[in-house]
Amino acid sequence: MIPPALSIGYQGVPGAYSEEALQAFAPHARRLPHRTLPDLFAALQDRAIDRAFVPIENSHAGSVVDAYDLLLDHAVTIEAEWIHPVHHCLLGLPGAALDDVERVFSHPQALAQTQTYVRSAGFRSEAYYDTAGAAQMVAEEQDRRYAAVAGRLAAEKYGLAVLADGIQTSADNATRFFLLAPEDGQPAEMPGEGEGRTTLVFSVAHRPGALVRALTCFARRGVNLNRLESRPSRRSPWEYMFFTDIEGYASQPQVAAALRELDRLYPPVRILGSYPAAHLPEGVTT
């Protein structure tokens, strides 16, 4: 249960999908918008907000790579995860028709998730920093040729009409979010009922078989990997950091043993968080 007094920041202007997801995750928390992900992480680092609610991956468009890079740069702890179904709409001015629309604006992730519809309709897609920001721009420009891919919350906030509903390419489209807290020296474990998940980041030696050796630490103990994502370390060319999600809490014996072995092989291993695994929304499959 998230306390009502907790201030949680999200990326985007009011009406963004992140706000819609945050409203479902923590309906009583104070929701504070931030224009970009770097702005959001900076606010958390400066303690201007209590927590940050960050999109980390989409089931069809893939990783939000900026979020992974920012996780490397900031001392944060993952306290929870949330998986939210994405329902895209085409928003235009009241009274506009589909035949009026020429240009469609939205965040690149949203455009990727609706590209089949946008292309088949013959619209020209143009990237914008935020879904709800695109809706706000369409409302301000008052040009019937402009439309935005965003959610119904954005339509309500900016007085736009839903010209087309459910335009996402896949019906089981969903986005995974992390709830981040400032790291205070020790990575927090947030136990709860049901299964746990642990997220960590590590690097390996640049030689054949190094990654296989690292992953064997988990396989030997029957610890399942849910995700492995590589990002440039930015310390030296062609060196990578590996973000890994594993099943189980870090304190569970088999997980703890695997983490100790990995840390002996390739120190340091950074545990970003150990938290209850989110439930999949209805209609979304693994």
Listing DSSP states for the chain in one string gives: ---TT-EEEEEBSTT-HHHHHHHHH-TTSEEEEESSHHHHHHHHHTTSSSEEEEEEEETTTEE-HHHHHHHHHS-EEEEEEEEEE---EEEE-TT--GGG--EEEE-HHHHHHTHHHHHHTTPEEEE-S-HHHHHHHHHHHT-TTEEEEE-HHHHHHHT-EEEEE---S-TT-EEEEEEEEE--SS--B---SS-EEEEEEE---SSTTHHHHHHHHHHTTTPPEEEEEEEE-SSSTT-EEEEEEEES-TTSHHHHHHHHHHHHHSSPPEEEEEEEPPPPPTT---
Q: What number does CATH give the domain 89-165?
A: 3.40.190.10
Distance CA 270, CA 156 (A): 42
Q: Among candidates 228, 91, 69, which has minimal Cα distance to 147? A: 91
> What residue ranges do the domains of the chain occupy?
7-85+173-182, 89-165, 196-276
Which residue(s) pair with 83 in the sheet?
176
Q: What is the pLDDT of residue 187?
A: 47
Give the active site residue among 177, 218, 242, 243. Answer: 177
Q: What is the pLDDT of residue 62?
A: 85
- Asked if 175 is an active-site residue, the reply is yes
Active-site residue identified among 77, 175, 198, 244? 175
User: May I ask the CATH architecture of the domain 196-276?
Assistant: 2-Layer Sandwich (3.30)
Domain 7-85+173-182 has CATH 1.10.10.60: no
pLDDT of residue 1: 60
What per-residue confidence (pLDDT) applies to 190?
57
Q: Is the pTM of this model over 0.75?
A: yes
Longest dimension (CA), the chain: 65
Q: What is the pLDDT of residue 126?
A: 97
Active site residue 177: yes
List of the chain residues with pLDDT < 50:
185-187, 286
| pLDDT at residue 194 in the model | 76
Query: What pairs with residue 181 in β-bridges?
Result: 77
Q: Do domains 7-85+173-182 and 196-276 have the same CATH topology?
A: no
